[in-house]
Amino acid sequence: MRYNLGNKIAVVGSGPSGLSCAYYLAIDGYKVTVLEKEEKLGGMLTLGIPSFRLEKEVLNAEIDVLREMGVSFKTGVEVGKDITLNQLREEGYEAFYLAIGAQGGRRLGIEGEEGQGVISGVDFLRNVNLGRKSELSGNVVVIGGGNVAIDVARTAKRQGGR
């Protein structure tokens, strides 16, 4: 089924939400461009979930399928900062799918959390996944006990922490 969305569509964010949207729009024949603020595509699949749980080759192969279907990708473009929705409209985009996820770690609101060596789990994983300096030494304490905390703990060990 083809909805009356217009021909040129911008998907903002390349996480699973944006990629799924681009896939189904491409199947229906729309001209889709995915705009991503980071240099790497995939959202949390790339910058959150560690490679030892989700291999980047697997994800990249999925993204290549979208390319073969005609989806275009632009990385390093933050919508709202580098370009506005109105500018995109002037470029001919007629519909927008905003799939910007939730990148920020939450604060605990306790004394000392602004101190040196304290970092949110998602920031730490993003640094590791982007190859930024993230080696550790000595004892590391992970606060929290959910799935992300386990990813952080396993990654911290691999980065040299104890």
Ligand X SMILES: Cc1cc2nc3c(=O)[nH]c(=O)nc-3n(C[C@H](O)[C@H](O)[C@H](O)COP(=O)(O)OP(=O)(O)OC[C@H]3O[C@@H](n4cnc5c(N)ncnc54)[C@H](O)[C@@H]3O)c2cc1C
Whichever of 44 and 66 has its CB closer to ligand X, that residue is 44
Q: In this structure, what token pair is assigned to residue 52?
A: 């030892």
Site for ligand X in 120-159 (CB under 6 A): 122, 125, 147-148, 151
Task: Return the range that interacts with ligand X (CB under 6 A); candidates 3-11, 55-63, 78-86, 133-141.
Answer: 78-86
55 binds ligand X (CB under 6 A): no
Rounded Cα–Cα distance for residues 120 and 9 (Å):
34
Task: Return the range that interacts with ligand X (CB under 6 A); candidates 24-32, 40-48, 65-73, 104-112.
Answer: 40-48
Rounded Cα–Cα distance for residues 114 and 109 (Å):
10
Backbone Cα Rg of the chain? 18
Whichever of 32 and 49 has its CB closer to ligand X, that residue is 49
Binding residues vs ligand X (CB under 6 A): 12-18, 35-38, 43-45, 48-49, 78-80, 99-101, 103, 122, 125, 147-148, 151
